[in-house]
Amino acid sequence: MKEKFNFYFKLFKSTFFLSAFTFGGGYVIVPLMRKKFVKEYKWIEEEEMLDLTAIAQASPGAMAVNASILVGYRLAGILGAIITIIGTILPPLIILSIISLAYSAFIENIFVKYILKGMQAGVAAVVLDVSVSMITDIFKERKLMPIIVMFAAFIASFFLNINVVIIILLSGLIGIASMYFSKDRRKGAD
Amino acid sequence: MLPCTFQKIEEKELIKLIYLKLFWSFFQVGLFTFGGGYAAMPLIQNQIVEINGWLNMREFADVITISQMTPGPIGINSASFVGMRIAGILGAIVATIGSVLPSCIIVLILAYIYYKYRGLAAVQSVLKGLRPAVIAMITSAALSLITLALWKEEKISLNIESIDFVALLIFFLSFFVLRKWKLNPIYVMIGAGIIALCIYPFIL
């Protein structure tokens, strides 16, 4: 019993700290988890961790949350998943709640305003940098379909203000359709 | 007496409704965010700025900025921030649970399928279709952020007067440093903050 509790506590503690020190979110958590659970604790095989990463990527939502749900589920079933989810969402929940409370007082300060103004220009550059890298990757694939979908989605969201959910659903459908299309073609070639 | 209690009941209902709305909005953000991180941004903007008006565009940009500086995914950060502002601690918890619940359900289903069949080809093909659209929407969100950061008014105009040249300088400098040396975004943002603090007090 005590051993089990210790294991759950260790699981909670590791996801809590992983989450507390993952700045900027996203894919950063994967190598950190690999280091912790594959290399250090040897709880998960290397190969399996790669598959879990693919599942985390394939699912909606934040990568960090998805990856920790999977690790928790793999190690201790549903209860494990619940423990790792709580461990992962607590740090940002606590930090952002505190910032939210202090926000009004914080934002009225003139120097804070200057800093935030500069940082907003910085963050705009950060997001543009991400999008430029991703667009370059799409063009490197040299396939017509993704490029058309990308332009159409951009026009739909930036100029026509079409709801993002509709754009996502439509492009998912295009993905499925093109899978069937290429399957049929392959059959034809056989 | 009667109108008073009636009003109280109405107030209670309203609060319940806010929790429900928070939960549902962030549930949708969680459900339709594919590709993690920045992909959540346009969805959050859509839900909290455009549909519900819980934050204006400037506050939203602040949340994104703060998210970059603090640990945790943007989706959870904004859920906690908005939930807390709109309905206190419970609001933050409700919004956060809403944002992770879709992931929990779908990830567990996929994990079950994976351990049973070890194949995810269909899922991967859907993702292939989604990727270009997600990139387009991130770009669209990036342009909104640029507009907000570089123009003093809320919209793009060709009037030279309305361009914030200090922000423009910081923007180009940041972008250059990011492309050229692939510097960690946190350092870029700290640098941007410091430059702003050194220039703005003397010109405004």
Whole-number Å distance between alpha carbons of B54 and A141: 40
- What tokens appear for A41 in the block? 């604790």
Q: Is the pLDDT of residue B90 over 90?
A: yes
Whether chain A has a CB inside 8 Å of the CB on B62: the answer is yes
**Rounded distance, CA A13 to CA B82, Å?**
27
Q: Is residue B162 part of a domain?
A: no
Say if A27 falls within a structural domain.
Answer: yes
The pLDDT tens digits of the residues spanning A13-60 come to: 999 988 887 665 555 677 778 778 888 888 888 778 777 877 787 788
Radius of gyration of chain A (CA): 22
Instruction: Give the pLDDT confidence of B107-126 residue by residue, as tens digits.
Output: 998 888 777 766 566 666 77
Residue of A nearest to B166 (CA): A118
**DSSP reduced 3-state for A50:** helix
ipTM here: 0.74
Residue B71 lies in a domain: yes
B121-150 vs A110-140: helix crossing angle, rounded to 10: 140
CA-to-CA distance for B75 and B80, rounded, in angstroms? 9
Whether A176 is in a domain gets the answer no
Listed residue (B65, B61, B80) closest to B22, CA to CA: B80
CA distance A107 to A114: 10
**Residue A123 in contact with partner chain B when CB distance is under 8 A:** yes
- Does residue B151 belong to any structural domain of this protein? no
How many folded domains does chain A comprise? 1
What's the structural domain count of chain B?
Answer: 1
Nearest to B140 among A63, A93, A157 (CB): A157
B120 within 8 A of B32, measured Cβ to Cβ: no
pLDDT of residue A106: 76
Nearest chain A residue to B28 by CA: give it: A165
Residues 46-105 of A with CB under 8 A from B: 51-52, 54-66, 69-70, 73-74, 78, 81, 85, 89, 91-93, 95-97, 99-101, 103
Structure tokens at A46: 């290397």
CA-based R_g, chain B, Å: 21
Separation of alpha carbons B204 and B187, rounded Å = 25
Question: Does B167 reside within a domain?
Answer: no
Structural domain range at position A9: 1-106
Supply the pTM of this predicted model. 0.74
Closest by Cα among A47, A8, A73 to B112? A73
More confident residue, B174 or A162: B174
Residue B90 lies in domain: 2-123
